[in-house]
Structure 1
Amino acid sequence: MSDVSFDAAAAVSAPRTRRRARLPVPVVLALGWLALMLLVAVAADLLSPFPYTALDLRNRLSPPVGMGGAWLHALGTDELGRDVLSRLITSIRMSLLIAFGATAISAVLGVTLGFLAAHFRGLVEQAVLALVDFQAAMPFLILALAVLAFFGNSLPLFICLLGLNGWERYARIARGLAVSAGSQGYAAAVKGLGASPWRVYGRHVLPNIASTLIVSMTLAFPEIILLESGLSFLGLGVQPPMTSLGNMVGYGREYLTRAPWILLAPSSVIVLTTLSVSLVGDWLRDRLDPTLR
């Protein structure tokens, strides 16, 4: 009788396990889109049919294929005759480079300060928490406008400036999880064996909180893309002759009625990319966060 009940329970649990293991369709589509964007970013030079700065004045404002245009310029051309597809491919690489770089800087800065606050406590912890509160209270757009107006604009400065956005979240998460891990047995045992703080936090604490930090990074990644697009749209981000998705949207708004394809192509990529990253981030949170199980 027990064997029969065990087999019945196993038969019922097997489909449930398969359902849990199967990826939702929106997540599959989101992963496919992100894989496509990464492929385009890596192989941008090979995929671009024209140099993104090449001019073709005879084909200015040429429409895309679906609107009566020729396959020579599949997504049409802009006001200077530059191929929209080539500029879109290069813009994807630039925007993803900025987003990845800024997200990495923000995560490293926040985790480092969070670990320092958790390790030293006292005055250091109070100073870090004061910085966190100041960063959370300061409107980042005003800070970005002031820095770019005072120091000028360059790509490394722009990436580092965006990296200052949202680091306080990582600091709060890293500090809270590090304090919790420090009170558990494995961290105390490693300290008792004489391990250095670098080894304790780098080899033992960080791997145990990595899943939460990864989920936070995936949720903050779309914000960096949108912030870069907004600043580039205002003319404060990526400067010509370089191009980004927000830069293309900024130029395309002047031709919205005559040549809407200049703006629609990068806008669609921004929406789909941010939506895909958000879907993957929500799915990872559901899978990795033990409090939601």
Structure 2
Amino acid sequence: MTDMLASSVPAEPARRRLDLPWYVGVSIFWVGVMLVVAIFSNWLAPHSFTALDLKYRLVAPFQSFAHPLGTDELGRDVLSRLIISIRVSLLIAFGATLISAVLGTTLGFLAAHFRGVVEQIVLVLADFQAAMPFLILALSVLAFFGNSLPLLVGLMGLYGWERYARIARGLAIAASAQGYATAVTQLGAKPARVYLRHILPNIASTLIVSMTLVFPEVILLESGLSFLGLGVQPPMTSLGNMVGYGREYITRAPWIMLTPSLVIVMTTLAISLLGDWLRDKLDPTIR
């Protein structure tokens, strides 16, 4: 009896740690589904996303077994295009978020290490980035240099870097003022090792939360650019691209536009809810 009670004591904290709010569980499930769809899109798509069949133009959802989500104005399967669009949009969002995080964190560390002129330059660039409407800048660059997927990812990688720079700078200065960073430096460690092996792991949780907050914004930005015709170009497709082409048929075939719109809303909402939950979980002042 005593052994049974002793074995049951540590199970209660573990159960409490795994107790997630229902909306967080739903968000994790939705994000997981989107990742699976993006990774295995070539196998999950029932048809080629560029295959035309004018005999089946504007077929409504659930009217044909071969096209469960209907077809568009050219007879292309909406489900197949949706699956490929999820892959392209998530690829752009992941790439841009990673570039933004690496760039901003690097500049923040440089500002915290060198201080003085370097710090002022980084802060001025961050203020300039925050003050300029990024959508106008993106439209200007894409209109001038043309459209390509690497350019689009690189351009959107500039979005939000100032947030990471400010966070990394402030936390790195605070960490440098603590004993462990000074002690490692006095032992002969190089600055790169101090920042990457000792300071970065201690501020990684805050940066990860920031990434979950920037990620849905990047998805919406890509969708807006593709909607305006300056994002992903045909024959490639994305969620915003589908919404942009479907707006002309909103009265006759609303499913062309509403299906990718629903995916955009659900994905951004799920990632935002996860980011809010992680922020609360990783904030020691709330626990």
Task: State TM-score, norm by structure 2.
Answer: 0.95
1:145 is displaced (CA, Å) by 1.1
Percentage identity across paired residues of the two chains: 73
1:150 is displaced (CA, Å) by 1.1
User: For residue 159 of structure 1, what is the amino acid of its counterpart?
Assistant: V
Q: Does 1:291 align with 2:282?
A: no
1:142 is displaced (CA, Å) by 1.1
1:290 is displaced (CA, Å) by 1.5
Of the candidates 106, 116, 123, which is equivalent to residue 129 of structure 1?
Answer: 123
* TM-superposition CA deviations, 1:13-70 (whole Å, max 9, x none): 98687445401110001000000000000000000000000001100001110xxx11
User: For residue 46 of structure 2, what is the amino acid of its counterpart?
Assistant: P
Q: What is the alpha-carbon distance in structure 1 between the residues aligned to residue 208 and residue 240 of structure 2? A: 26
Q: Does 1:218 align with 2:212?
A: yes
Any idea what SS the aligned residue of 1:71 has? coil
Q: What is the alpha-carbon distance in structure 2 between the residues aligned to residue 81 and residue 21 of structure 1? A: 46
* TM-superposition CA deviations, 1:235-263 (whole Å, max 9, x none): 01000000000000000100001001101
Q: What is the alpha-carbon distance in structure 2 between the residues aligned to residue 221 and residue 149 of structure 1? A: 24
* TM-superposition CA deviations, 1:82-115 (whole Å, max 9, x none): 0000000000000000000000000000000000
Aligned residue in 2 for 1:26: 23
Task: State TM-score, norm by structure 1.
Answer: 0.93
Of the candidates 192, 196, 206, which is equivalent to residue 190 of structure 2?
Answer: 196
Q: What pairs up with 1:1-293 in 2 under 5 angstroms?
A: 18-65=15-62, 69-293=63-287
Q: What is the alpha-carbon distance in structure 2 between the residues aligned to residue 245 and residue 265 of structure 1? A: 9
Q: What is the alpha-carbon distance in structure 1 between the residues aligned to residue 15 and residue 157 of structure 2? A: 40
Q: What is the alpha-carbon distance in structure 2 between the residues aligned to residue 289 and residue 79 of structure 1? A: 50
Q: Which runs of 5+ in 2 are unaligned?
A: none
